[in-house]
Amino acid sequence: MTMSARGSTRRLGRRRKVAALAVAGLAAATLMAGQLTGSSAQAASTSDTTLTVPADTQMTTFNPFLSYYDGELNVIGAIYPALTMLDNNGEPIPYLADSWTTSSDQRTWTFKIHPGLKWSDGQPLTAKDAAWTFNLIMHDVTAATSNGSLVENFKSVTAPDDNTLVITTKQPQANMLYLSIPVSGIPIVPEHIWKSHVAGLKNYRNMDFPVVGYGPFVLTDFKTNQFAEMTANKDFFLGAPHYDKVVTNYYSNSDAAAAALTSGELDQIGGLTPAQFKAMSSRSNVMTYQTQSSGWTAIEINPGARTRNGKPLGTGNPILKDSRVRQAIALGINRPELVAKVLGGNGVVGAGYLPPGYPQFFWTPSPSEAQAYDPARAKQVLDQAGYKMGSNGVRVAPDGKPLQFRLGIHSDDATDAAIAPYLKEWMTAIGIKLDVNAMSFDQLNNNLAKGDWDILMDGWSTGPDPTYLLSIQTCGTLPDENGQNGNTDAFFCNKQYDRLFQQQQTQFEAQQRAATIAQMQAILYAGNADVILFYKNGLSALRTDQVTNYLQGTKAANGFYPLQHGFTSWWKAEPVAGAATASEKASEQSSNAIKWIGLGVLVVLVIGGVVFLLRRRTASERE
Per-residue pLDDT reduced to its tens digit, 462-502: 989 999 999 999 999 999 988 888 889 999 999 999 999 99
DSSP string of 207-232, one letter each residue? --SSPP--SSEEEEEEETTTEEEEEE
How far CA 434 is from CA of 394, 422, 428, 448, 450, in Å, comes to 10, 11, 8, 17, 21
The torsion angle over the Cα atoms of residues 101, 470, 503 and 149, rounded to 10 degrees, is 60
In 3D space, the residue among 119, 123, 149, 125 whose CA is nearest the CA of residue 137 turns out to be 149
pLDDT value, residue 89: 86
pLDDT value, residue 596: 42
**Averaged pLDDT, 432-455:** 94
Rounded to 5 degrees, what angle do the CA atoms 315, 471, 270 make?
90
**Hey, is 487 helix, strand or coil?**
coil
Q: Does residue 15 register a pLDDT over 60?
A: no
Q: How far apart are CA 306 and CA 167, in angstroms?
A: 34
pLDDT value, residue 58: 87
Give pLDDT tens digits for 126-184. Answer: 999 999 999 999 999 999 999 998 999 999 999 999 999 999 999 999 999 999 999 98
pLDDT value, residue 438: 96
**Percentage of residues in the chain having pLDDT higher than 90:** 78
CB 371, CB 301: distance < 8 Å: no
pLDDT value, residue 68: 82
Confidence of residue 588 (pLDDT cuts 50, 70, 90): low
Give pLDDT tens digits for 378-429. Answer: 999 999 999 999 999 999 999 999 999 999 999 878 899 999 999 999 999 9
CB 582, CB 89: distance < 8 Å: no
pTM of the model: 0.81
User: What's the start-to-end Cα distance of the chain, in Å?
Assistant: 28
Q: How far apart are CA 313 and CA 157, in angstroms?
A: 35
Q: Does residue 235 register a pLDDT over 80?
A: yes
Confidence of residue 319 (pLDDT cuts 50, 70, 90): very high
**Hey, is 301 helix, strand or coil?**
strand
User: What are the E-state strand segments in 254-378?
Assistant: 268-269, 286-291, 295-301, 347-349
In 3D space, the residue among 539, 614, 620, 513 whose CA is nearest the CA of residue 22 turns out to be 614
Q: Does residue 64 register a pLDDT over 70?
A: yes
pLDDT value, residue 618: 36
pLDDT value, residue 381: 98
CB 5, CB 461: distance < 8 Å: yes
Q: Provide the mean pLDDT of the chain.
A: 88
Which bin fits 304, alpha (ψ -120 to 50), beta or left (φ > 0)?
A: left
Q: Check residues 84 and 44 and name the one with the higher pLDDT.
A: 84
Q: How far apart are CA 486 and CA 218, in angstroms?
A: 30
Confidence of residue 578 (pLDDT cuts 50, 70, 90): confident
Q: Does residue 617 register a pLDDT over 70?
A: no
pLDDT value, residue 579: 74
Q: Name the strands in the sheet holding 433-439, side by side, starting at the edge strand that comes first in the sequence.
A: 347-349, 530-536, 295-301, 455-461, 404-410, 433-439
